[in-house]
Amino acid sequence: MRLHVVVRSIAPSGGFGGLERSAADHVSEMRNAGIDVLVHAPLVSSTEGKRVDWPTMRRPRSLVQGVAYSAWVRRAASSLVENLRLGDVVHLHGSAAAAASMIPSSVPTVMNPHGLEEFDPMGLSTFAVRPILRHLSLTGARAVSRVVSTDSSITGALVKKLRIPESKVVLIPNSVDALALRSIAASHRSSDVWGDGGGSIVSVGRVEHNKGYDLLAAALAACSDLPWTWTHYGSGSQDEYLRRVLSDLSIKDRVRIVAGASDAEVQHAFSRAGLFVQPSRSEGSSLTTLEAMAHGAFILACAVGGIPDKITNGAEGLLTVPQLAVMSRDLRHAIGLVGSPAARKMGKSAMARVEKDFSSRSTAKSYVNLYQGLLVQ
């Protein structure tokens, strides 16, 4: 069996967003399981797979992003057709799943839809992008053999949004290699200890509306009398807006935004954070929350998407909601617990939960069984 993985962007060359990291982890897990994997994505080396570049567009990216994505999906489908052979399986991430409609229907195909931000009215940077990406996702969901749900709590929404029968859905949780992540963090050597420990707050992710970092900024401003610093790792279409919010709230001197950080820097930050916050308005599975749990971080996260499948309030961390008054209250409570026995206990419980229920070894076995089952149907 050979596995083809199709994704619009993959870590590390494509950055460290949730989709990028999830795709990279999936490829690594499959190769560790002995599967021959061919990646179809931009910026991949010839040893990793087939490079499928984005088309060059002369107009501003915000105006043509959806059109560019559609064109890229057609290129990815062509790359698949050129390289498919008998006994191959195709795994497609996000809206790239539309490529499944452009290859022979006899080829087994699997879609991981991720966060489905294209169905969120405020989930993407431009109104023009959403209808195109929704169309691609719906087309892909109809065409593929199976659709992966990473959390039981999001399966219902996934079925409704993608308009597919629940019988087409298979539950396979996202996972992490906790030991590998802790090893990466330990390997990082840095003299930068800005906000290290104590009241240091860390967040990781793309700066987009659905991720709620502007909401976190406002909640932190409401806690300005407390000792805290905030470091965010990641960038996105809302970078400038977030910086304006920080300036307007008069807290920019207590906040650092780090774009282009290495994986070692990010994992080190997880391991040294006083508090990790996931302030999402909407979310898929939230791989960054799993990574924070793998390091035993003390966590405050919004109870959206798949997060409640990972954290029980007061057990593996604290849960809040994406409403300013409530988040401000819960954030104040969490900051007060940083470094306490209660916070350390929740961190240890989070680490144990990851190793028990979200290990990469068990997920890899589930995927191999899925692919082999599709081949014999």
Rounded to a whole number of angstroms, the distance between the first and last alpha carbons of the chain is 14
Query: Distance between CA atoms of 252 and 217, rounded to whole angstroms?
Result: 9
Residue 140 and residue 230 in one domain:
no
Residue 150 and residue 201 in one domain:
no
Residue 223 and residue 111 in one domain:
no
Between 283 and 329, name the one with better pLDDT: 329
| pLDDT tens digits along 171-215 | 999 888 899 899 999 988 764 545 555 679 999 998 999 999 999
Residue 120 and residue 243 in one domain:
no
Residue 184 and residue 159 in one domain:
no
Confidence of residue 153 (pLDDT cuts 50, 70, 90): confident
Confidence of residue 16 (pLDDT cuts 50, 70, 90): low
Q: What mean pLDDT is reported for the chain? A: 91
Residue 259 structure tokens: 């774009």
How many domains are there within the chain? Answer: 2
Residue 302 and residue 366 in one domain:
no
CATH of residue 48's domain is 3.40.50.2000
Query: Distance between CA atoms of 244 and 248, rounded to whole angstroms?
Result: 6
Confidence of residue 263 (pLDDT cuts 50, 70, 90): confident
Using alpha carbons, list the distances in angstroms from residue 153 to 122, 290, 353. Answer: 21, 16, 17
Residue 193 and residue 155 in one domain:
no
Query: Distance between CA atoms of 213 and 206, rounded to whole angstroms?
Result: 9
pTM, two decimals, is: 0.84
Per DSSP, helices labelled H in the chain are: 18-32, 61-83, 129-143, 155-162, 178-187, 213-221, 239-248, 263-272, 287-294, 324-337, 341-357, 360-376
Query: Distance between CA atoms of 38 and 47, rounded to whole angstroms?
Result: 9
Domain ranges, residue 164 = 2-175+360-376
Residue 144 and residue 202 in one domain:
no
Between 307 and 198, name the one with better pLDDT: 307
Residue 196 and residue 133 in one domain:
no
| pLDDT tens digits along 341-366 | 999 999 999 999 999 999 888 899 99
For residue 247, pLDDT beyond 80: yes
How confident is the model over 359-376, as a mean pLDDT?
A: 94
Residue 219 and residue 256 in one domain:
yes
Range of weakest confidence among 16-20, 39-43, 281-285, 357-361: 16-20
Residue 222 and residue 329 in one domain:
yes
Residue 285 and residue 154 in one domain:
no
